[in-house]
Structure 1
Amino acid sequence: MPANRPPLYPMSVDLVDRDVLLVGAGKVALRKAQDLLDCGARLRVVAPWFEPGFAKLVGGWTKIERPWTPGDEQGARLVVAATSDPVANRQIYEACAALGILCNVVDVPELCDFYVPAVARGQGVQISIGTDGAAPSLSAFARRKLLEWIGDGFGDLVQLVARLRAETRARLTLPERERFWKTLDWEEWLARIRRDGPSACERALRECIDQRVADAGSPDHTPAAQGRVVLVGAGPGHPDLITRMGLRALGRATALVYDRLVSPELLRMVPTSCQLFPVGKKGFEPSFPQSEINALLVQLAREGQFVVRLKGGDPFVFGRGGEEVEACLAAGVAVEVVPGLSSSLAVPAYAGIPITHRGLSRSFAIISGFHADGRAADVPDAETIIVMMPLHSMAGVRDRFLAAGWAADTPCAAVQAGTTAGERVLYSVLATLDQDLQREGLQSPLIVVVGRVAGWAREHAYRPELHTPPHGAAFPNA
């Protein structure tokens, strides 16, 4: 299948009492036949001979013991061809195409109008996963992994929600219902039904419905009473480094307000109906003003949205998360914070640079590479300093360090795009780091570690593929 073709449209088809034609009666066709009968299809099977297992099929079907002939496909809702004859397969497909009948020729993707995914069923749950016909065995593998992840209790939860949906339709308006169901933390409810059982879980969920109905009927009720903002730390860059709590929040989002450095993979973790609002910033370039971001968060929450504000690293470490919390509180909007793995610590660690090390550093500090007024940050009293976002101000940062008494040959390490595919590490010394960064062309996002731990990291480097050879002054021992 061409890599650039549009994705297939996934759907579930009601085949109860619908005419379906199956051509072929070998072992593969036998599996297809039972699957179709399980779905209630009115099945016709055409073949010159039949695998003995067909006699044991559960469900009513019609046996036509002869080769396929043109016209057999007429009246069928679907046709599945499972023969070993490529000429017959193509004839069947072309005959169906002429009549507008969907046809699937088993294991011949170019002769398929639809593909049958790997399916797991039980307790009102049907899970389908496919590869658009490209690798059916991988679909089966993915199905097993998905079932392992879901585990017990999922079917019970589906049945419980099915019972309560009718009740919410009678008691809540459509917008209220959508907000209620979309913003439930399903991982929490799945854990609860496993722990407490279906009856206790049903009582708790009914209490939530009662509370939502009461809130909706209150004279003070506004959508903002139901909307909320959740600040989520996305971690340093790699999508696997977000927390489970952060992923759960993404799964509930009806609106996502996200930064420029957030991994694109995380954007695919939100529901398909979620609205996306990019508000990326880039130092020393035109950016989305913080005041407008604050206003957007409040506006979306007042519309009743479950707003996830996805920020690189941790929301409260040079992320201006505190300002966003203040804006929400001032507007009467519910707000919470899901911490993230701060880039200031995670990026050096991922690159093999310890922030503290016995005999080298017992303290560290984190500073910003620049202030809003353009001046470099002051240098605190610590043995290791992590400088965030210093790319355009490194000369000023260096001068601050030297003025504070740091030696010109102090080891430094600069990490570009830490934890991502674009990661690069440059080792240098304080006096020449600015020139080395320019010479090697390192770009934002950039973090610099200053201190003897950077020398240790260079000597003990275990990821040499990341390292950019230093220029300038000789690198001293730690």
Structure 2
Amino acid sequence: MTTGCRSWPRWRHPRERWFRRAARKVRPGRAAIRPRRRWVPGPRRASEVNDDLFIPSLDIRGARLMGYYAAFLDVGGQRCLVVGGGEPALAKARGLLESGARVTIVWDRLIPEFRTLEVALVERRFEEADLEGCVLAIDASGDEATGVRVSQAARERGVLVNVLDRPALCTFIAPALVRRGPLQVAISTSGRSPFLAAHLRRLVERWLGPEWGSMVELTGRLRDRLRQQGVSLSEQTTQYGRALGSPALGLLRAGRVAAAEAAINRSDGHVALIGAGPGDPALLTVRAVGLLSRADLVLYDALVDAAALAWCRPDAELVCVGKRGGRTSAQQGSIEAHMIAAAQTGRFVVRLKGGDPFVFGRGGEEVLALVAAGITIEVVPGVSAATAAPALAGIPLTHRGLAASFAVTTARRADGGVHDFRDLAGADTLVVMMPVQALQQVSAQLIAAGRPPTCPVALVEGASTSRQRVVRGRLDDIGRRVGQRAVEGPALLVVGAVVNALAEVTASDQSMQDGIPRRAHAGGHPQLRVDGAQVRVDGAPADHELGSNLWSGQAARHQDEHLDLSWRQATNRNPS
């Protein structure tokens, strides 16, 4: 089955309600404000968009919200003027030269680097006659009066003009640009924040490596060939998708251009087995995001956050194959058969699994099935909940003087029986996955295996998500405490002295021992910030201090069962 979305009437979406008053009455001459639905890039097929990905935007009619039309100029062989003689002017001159322009530099003091460029140098101050025959002028002199003169003279002659850091004097603004051969990505803040534009450019540069320029060339050749053969547009689109999902990018990154072109031109399918992390899409690895964005077919677990699927291609097929205890679930054999059949038809398949695929995720079984069928497979590790959940709850699995080892296991064996834990008696810290349905039995078995009844334990539910809760107690009473709080899972149990290792910065001893919510004295323990969440009991943090899940648009309120009740009441009254 595919993921579903909820269709909201225009004025009933909860995040559009605040637009109502502004939209009801608009005085003459005032900008009209209308709500408009805009969705984060992601699954866009009819029933595949999660309504948590809604972002409200303003359509201000009559107001200059942006004011710039994005375009790329062909300045090849055209004369362009740069006014200035320092580093800013040098950068502009180099950019124009890369675009094939004939560049003239005018200023009375030039840094030596200009003499290494193929440009015309005029060593004096700007004169209006310098604009004759120019199609574009840039003032990077930093001189205020010169900037005004260049702007006025250029406007009078119909020459496009840009004065650095002075948008009011410009008829165009230059974006932060990322160049990868024929691929160019422009980033603009409409002149509001060049610093942020430069920061975003650096991020894009890290994401778009040099291989993308070669990828554009190869897919361009594929496009030319398909058009010459008269292939239909729908089939062309399919071929482009297969090219994107092929191993070509990796081969180009390794410098194997011929192999990359061969990979684009053939239709060998392959599978990527990817760990989605503990829940928060922000914890996806960079490699996971890159592969998700190129996949034809994504088979995802029930525990994968729908916001993680926003990285998928708009035309990707998304199929939920999640298995949840006590519910109708896809059979492991059918999942493996689905992957094999899709890959054999040339599709790029991503199997997206919660946590790490090789930590109680049956990833090894899937690898064996795929290899036996002759399918090429890549494994991408994920952040396992076994280590992430304790960390997000402020519990170190190892701590000097308390724990030098830890073990991870599941509550039940493969045959369905509860683990007896005797083989794990030597581990200082024990992490038990999926314990909720058998928690009383797990506690009894741990005590029988030698753990003291008073051993500190913590059950972490919904780690890294907006549902995160931590229920603390002792081994002999954790079952009762969890039963009182209707914990559903996913959850895991942490057993050992490390549960209280950070008690001084997370909660008072009393609240840690007996679970009684209480307010600590003013000026209490220092704060411990874990992934944007406040893990403490000494006073209620302001709402803005809590980490927000930017991917799903929900507040990431990591609630601990021992936090002050007034904090919970405040956050319940003020959802973000």
1:86 corresponds to which residue? none
Cα distance between partner residues in 1 of 2:293 and 2:216:
20
Question: What is the Cα deviation at residue 257 of structure 1?
Answer: 1.0
Cα distance between partner residues in 2 of 1:284 and 1:405:
31
Cα 1:272/1:442, change in 2 over 3 Å: same
1:255 corresponds to which residue? 297
Question: What is the Cα deviation at residue 383 of structure 1?
Answer: 1.9
Cα distance between partner residues in 2 of 1:326 and 1:229:
12
1:393 corresponds to which residue? 438
Residue pairs, 1:352-431, within 5 angstroms:
352-371=394-413, 373-379=415-421, 380-381=424-425, 382-431=427-476
SS at the partner of 1:268?
Answer: helix
1:280 corresponds to which residue? 322
Indicate yes or no: 2:37 matched with 1:6: yes
Question: What is the Cα deviation at residue 184 of structure 1?
Answer: 4.3
Cα 1:359/1:156, change in 2 over 3 Å: closer
Cα 1:32/1:234, change in 2 over 3 Å: closer
Cα 1:137/1:268, change in 2 over 3 Å: farther
**Aligned-residue CA RMSD (Å):** 3.9
Indicate yes or no: 2:228 matched with 1:183: no
Cα distance between partner residues in 2 of 1:278 and 1:4:
32
Cα distance between partner residues in 1 of 2:438 and 2:281:
29
Question: What is the Cα deviation at residue 352 of structure 1?
Answer: 1.2
Contact 1:124/1:155 (CA < 8 Å) preserved in 2? no
Question: What is the Cα deviation at residue 401 of structure 1?
Answer: 1.0
Taking every aligned residue pair, what percent have the same amino acid on both sides? 32
Cα distance between partner residues in 1 of 2:374 and 2:476:
50
SS at the partner of 2:38?
Answer: coil
Cα 1:255/1:144, change in 2 over 3 Å: farther
Cα distance between partner residues in 2 of 1:294 and 1:148:
40
2:484 corresponds to which residue? 439
Deviations 1:126-175 (A, max 9, x none): 54679xxxx96789776544322233996976664454345435768855
TM-score, reference length from structure 2 = 0.55
The counterpart of 2:350, out of the listed 287, 292, 308, is: 308
SS at the partner of 2:481?
Answer: helix
Question: What is the Cα deviation at residue 243 of structure 1?
Answer: 1.9
1:456 corresponds to which residue? 501
Cα distance between partner residues in 2 of 1:464 and 1:305:
49
Cα distance between partner residues in 1 of 2:225 and 2:386:
49
The counterpart of 1:469, out of the listed 562, 567, 571, is: 562
1:339 corresponds to which residue? 381
Cα distance between partner residues in 1 of 2:205 and 2:264:
29
Cα 1:367/1:150, change in 2 over 3 Å: same
Contact 1:385/1:450 (CA < 8 Å) preserved in 2? yes
Which has the larger displacement, 157-166 or 254-263? 157-166
SS at the partner of 1:464?
Answer: coil
1:164 corresponds to which residue? 218
Question: What is the Cα deviation at residue 464 of structure 1?
Answer: 2.2
Q: Residue type matched to 1:293 in 2? A: I
Deviations 1:31-53 (A, max 9, x none): 859x779489xxxxxxxxx9765
Contact 1:424/1:468 (CA < 8 Å) preserved in 2? yes
Cα distance between partner residues in 2 of 1:243 and 1:417:
19
2:258 corresponds to which residue? 206
Cα 1:157/1:345, change in 2 over 3 Å: closer
| Unmatched 5+ stretches in structure 2 | 1-15, 20-33, 42-61, 76-150, 161-172, 507-527, 529-534, 538-558, 564-576
Question: What is the Cα deviation at residue 209 of structure 1?
Answer: 1.7
Which has the larger displacement, 240-249 or 340-349? 240-249
TM-score, reference length from structure 1 = 0.65
Contact 2:470/2:560 (CA < 8 Å) preserved in 1? yes
Cα distance between partner residues in 1 of 2:263 and 2:72:
44
Contact 2:68/2:190 (CA < 8 Å) preserved in 1? no
SS at the partner of 2:501?
Answer: helix
Q: Residue type matched to 1:57 in 2? A: G
